[in-house]
Every structure is written in C-alpha cells, then in structure tokens.
C-alpha cells in the first residue's frame, strides 16, 4: 500500500521553485516584507541624506551632481525592472507558473515610475547644462522609448479580460519589446551621434566617480533595489489575492 502511495504522489517542487505555489509565495512574502520595507527605507533615507548633505560639489557641474543619487539608481532600476519582467515572462511561457506572470504584471508599474524618475531627473539635470528643458540626448531618448514600452505593456494587461490570455500576450509583447528596445538603443545612438558629444549625463559609469561620491551612491542604489524588491513582492501578493478573489467570485456566480 505504501509503495503505490509513494509512486502515486506527484513530486513537490523544491527550493526556489516551491514559491511558484501561490500560497507558499504569500507565506514567504508575509515573512520577508516587513524587514524588506524597513531596510529599504533605511538605506534610501541614509543614502539620500548622505549624498545631499555630506558630499562636495563637482567642479564642473556644481551642486547638480547631487542629482546623481536619484538619477543613476532609478535609471538602473528602470532597466532591471524590464529585465526581471522578461525573465518572469519566459518562466510563465515555459513553465506556466501563475506567480511568475503576476510578478511581471506587478513589476511593470514600478518600472514605469523608475523610468519616469530617471527621465525627469535627467531632463532637470540637463537644463542648466544644455539650456533646454528637454534635449534628445541618446540616453534620455532611449529611456523615453522604454517608457513607451512600459505603457504599452501595462495597457495590454488592462485591455484583455481573460487573465491567462493576458499573461500570454503580454509575455510575448515583453519578449518582442526587449529585442526592439535593444535595437532602438543602437538606432538612437546612431541617430544622435552628431550632437551633445561631450555633455551626456554619463557621470555614472564612463567617468571615474570619485570615492566621496561613490559610496553614498552605492547606498542609494541599494535603497532603490530593496524598495523595488519590496514593492514587487507586495504587489505580486496583491495580484495573487485579486486572482483568487476573482476565481471565488466566478464560482459564486456559477452556483
């Protein structure tokens, strides 16, 4: 009797993949979220205060260099959010874990806000340097295009009623969009190679950022990463709950 029981029971996914189970995922997020929120708040506040109050001015850019503590982390997260959505979409398409599809859906609004912050801080930073409120600098333009990709992705989720269909279509869009996002990056660089040669906001990686700027920047980046994780974890939980509520309501309607 015990032998047939063992062979009849399906193998439970272990380790990381066990969190594909919505209930286990919710359990994990409830345990982890409070710490995550607190850590995110601490590093964000500490990093911004350190950067804003306790760093010197740049000899070329004056006090505007302080914008780096918002612009760089948000730009990084804007890209990383999309990358996470890409991976989550692939996991959904291949392994059909609903938690993965919902995680991608949950990450998109966070990514959009990060992109918006990167765009606004980039434009504001550029204004005294370039004399205009917006300049079609290749980096900023690429982020503008990324913003449009985010909007399209979110709009498609909202437009499709059937959740699994929406998950499938948005995943395909995310894949195709990723390819075109990379293509657009090269196209935009090509398109704008004549202008703003030296004045692009590449303070973060190309130039050597002095230590005195670098460490507060690291703390801010950590803060943004932790905030992203907390938000996505929380929002995925929300999506899971909404999905379960909808399923129960559908069952009610049928009875």
Q: Which residues bind other proteins (CB under 8 A)?
A: 48, 52-53, 57, 62-64, 66-67, 70-71, 74, 109-110, 113, 116-117, 120-121, 124-125, 127-128, 145, 148-149, 151-152, 155-156, 159-160, 165, 168-169, 172-173, 175-177, 180, 183-184, 186-188, 190-191, 227, 231, 234-235, 237-238, 241-242, 244-245, 248-249, 251-252
Q: Nearest approach, Cβ of 19 to other proteins (angstroms)? A: 19
In the bound state with other proteins, the residue whose beta carbon lies nearer, of 13 and 113, is 113
Q: How far is the CB of 10 from other proteins (least distance, A)?
A: 26
> Residue 14: how many CB atoms within 10 A of its CB?
7
Which of residues 91 and 227 has its CB atom nearest to other proteins in the complex? 227
Write down the least CB distance from residue 136 to other proteins, Å. 11
Q: How far is the CB of 58 from other proteins (least distance, A)?
A: 10
């Amino acid at each position: 009797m015990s032998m047939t029981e063992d062979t009849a029971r399906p193998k439970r996914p272990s380790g990381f993949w066990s969190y594909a189970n919505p209930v286990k995922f919710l359990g994990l997020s409830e345990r982890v979220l409070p710490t995550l929120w607190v850590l995110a708040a601490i590093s964000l506040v500490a990093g911004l205060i350190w950067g804003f109050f306790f760093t010197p001015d740049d000899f070329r850019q004056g006090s505007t260099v302080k914008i780096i503590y918002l612009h760089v982390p948000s730009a990084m997260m804007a890209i990383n959010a999309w990358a996470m959505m890409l991976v989550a979409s692939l996991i959904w398409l291949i392994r059909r874990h609903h938690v993965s599809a919902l995680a991608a859906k949950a990450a998109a609004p966070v990514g959009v806000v990060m992109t918006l912050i990167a765009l606004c801080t980039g434009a504001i930073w550029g204004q005294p340097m370039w004399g205009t409120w917006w300049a079609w600098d290749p980096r900023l333009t690429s982020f503008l295009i990324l913003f449009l990709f985010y909007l399209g992705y979110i709009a498609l989720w909202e437009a499709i009623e059937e959740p699994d269909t929406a998950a499938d279509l948005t995943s395909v869009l995310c894949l195709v969009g990723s390819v075109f996002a990379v293509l657009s990056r090269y196209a935009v660089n090509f398109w704008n190679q004549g202008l703003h040669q030296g004045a692009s906001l590449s303070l973060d990686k190309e130039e050597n950022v002095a230590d005195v700027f670098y460490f507060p920047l690291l703390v801010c980046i950590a803060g943004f990463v932790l905030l992203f994780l907390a938000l996505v974890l929380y929002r995925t939980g929300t999506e899971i709950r909404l999905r379960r509520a909808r399923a129960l309501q559908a069952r009610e309607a049928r009875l």
